[in-house]
Amino acid sequence: MSSSGPSKPCLCRGSPDRGRLSARWSPPPGALHFEYDGRVTLSTRRLRLVACPLELAQALLGDRLEAGKRIGAALPPEWPAPGLEETLPLYVQELLHDPAAVGWGIWISVAREANVVVGDAGFKGRPDASGIVEIGYGTAPVHRNRGYATEAVRALVGWALTHPEVERVVAECAPENAASIRVLEKAGFRRICAGEESLRWERPRPA
């Protein structure tokens, strides 16, 4: 998965029975309007977000034609980005071990009108014992500066917070990554830690 910044050891491992996908859910009050359609996808105003199952992850490792068919959209030539390509083998192994982890990993962002992949977002594992889950995101270069990452992050945060075990969503980005900072600010995150190499952010569950 593309990341919002330099990666730390994963903060998001929970017990195997935590955080399974909800069969039905509604967005929390005030959240971006989107729907769960039964196929592990979310719909926002402009995007279709597709949770990446095992077969799609395997196709993304080397069969772009098959991957496009499974997503149901065109793939831009510069996607998957190097960060996602590096993550995919580990993600495949995770799903082989825990197939129900779909949703707590990679999501593919598809522009609904053009029916083309514009990027990816998702979580770096299940919620941990403290209810923390970490999010990352990325946009294909040709589709940047259109608000797609913000729209995807808002939707995924809303989805995560419908799970009662999730207390907060966290993120990390480099201090010089102005675009990523704007995404997090627009998605309602607050900065909780500033270091020389990274900024830490959180979006807690509303009181």
Model confidence over 64-83: pLDDT tens digits?
Answer: 999 999 999 999 999 999 99
d(CA 1, CA 82): 9
Asked if 124 and 10 count as a contact pair (C-beta separation under 8 A), the reply is: yes
Handedness of CA 54, 102, 32, 85 (dihedral sign): negative
Q: Total domain count for the chain?
A: 1
Print the domain residue range for 178: 35-204
Q: Specify the CATH number for the domain of residue 89.
A: 3.40.630.30
The count of C-alpha atoms lying within 13 angstroms of the C-alpha of 6, restricted to the half-sphere facing its C-beta, is 8
Is residue 6 domain-resident?
A: no
175-185: pLDDT as tens digits: 999 999 999 99
148-186: pLDDT as tens digits: 999 999 999 999 999 999 999 999 999 999 999 999 999
CA dihedral 130, 132, 133, 135 (to 10 degrees): -160
Non-local (6+) Cβ contacts of 48 within 8 A are 41, 42, 73, 109, 110, 112
Is residue 50 domain-resident?
A: yes
Is residue 5 domain-resident?
A: no
pLDDT at site 18:
33
Q: Is the pTM of this model over 0.75?
A: yes
SS3 (DSSP) at 116: strand
Is residue 22 domain-resident?
A: no
In percent, how much of the chain has pLDDT > 90? 77
Is residue 30 domain-resident?
A: no
Is residue 106 domain-resident?
A: yes
d(CA 134, CA 140): 21
pLDDT at site 195:
85
SS3 (DSSP) at 182: helix
28: burial class by Cβ within 10 Å (0-12, 13-18, 19+)?
middle
